[in-house]
Amino acid sequence: MHDPSSALVLFSGGQDSTTCLAWALERFDHVETIGFSYGQRHAIEMTCRAPVRQGVAAIKPVWAARLGMDHVIDLSVLGTIGESALTREIEITMTKEGLPNSFVPGRNIAFLAFAAMLAYRRGARHIVGGMCETDFSGYPDCRDDAVKAMQLALNIGMAKDFVLHTPLMWIDKAATWSLARQLGGMDLQELIIEQTHTCYYGDRTQRHDWGYGCGVCPACTLRAQGFAQFIA
């Protein structure tokens, strides 16, 4: 039986998934996290996950009480199948199809499918992801239609009633910063700045007002622009 008050959060250790984790901890009685190792060139995000989870739990006693197990799934096959700038040491550019070459085909589809498999076993009804159509890098599997289609397919294929939540779907990065502040105050904002990782190149040698990163890749650019708008 699925627990209607239990959730599984897709958690990379980045800004968006950390905000989604806080969002879930405010709403559900039991929250677990799932991360994916898929040969990403910014694999340093995987080392950020545990400290960020601990930091989030320390912000509110109720969050600490609700935060459950963490799970890491090996999806390294994604890195071997796709020729992507997220899994290869190549420059991030736009392709002739109009998509950034950092797009890993089917990545979010695979993430949601494996998350549902784990949710099935763990008895969680709610699955939370940081997909966003408003302020994103052009990845088609971040779109609301794609997530809704996955929810339908998963519920038909598994005979369950999963609910896929995307709290960031219709807000930009400035609003994501604002949501984090609303959920966890300055403590969560500072945790996101100091501990989370977003940079596609895996750079944590350069400290900016908004956190660590190269400052020029698409992920850093979105994060920096959003922070500037947020504090303006």
pLDDT over 70 for what percent of the chain? 86
* Tens of pLDDT, residues 105-132: 778 898 999 999 999 999 999 999 999 9
| Residues in contact with 84: Cβ distance below 8 Å, sequence separation at least 6, in sequence order | 101, 102, 103, 104, 105
* Tens of pLDDT, residues 179-209: 999 999 999 999 999 999 988 888 999 999 9
The Cα 193–Cα 124 span in angstroms is 30
- As a whole number, mean pLDDT of residues 54-75 equals 96
Contact indicator for 171, 208 with CB cutoff of 8 Å: no
Number of domains observed in the structure of the chain: 1
Paired sense of beta strands 124-128 and 163-165, if any = parallel
Dihedral over Cα of 232, 170, 199, 96: its sign? negative
pTM: 0.91
- Identify the domain containing residue 168 by its residue range: 3-231
Q: The domain that contains 72 carries what CATH number? A: 3.40.50.620
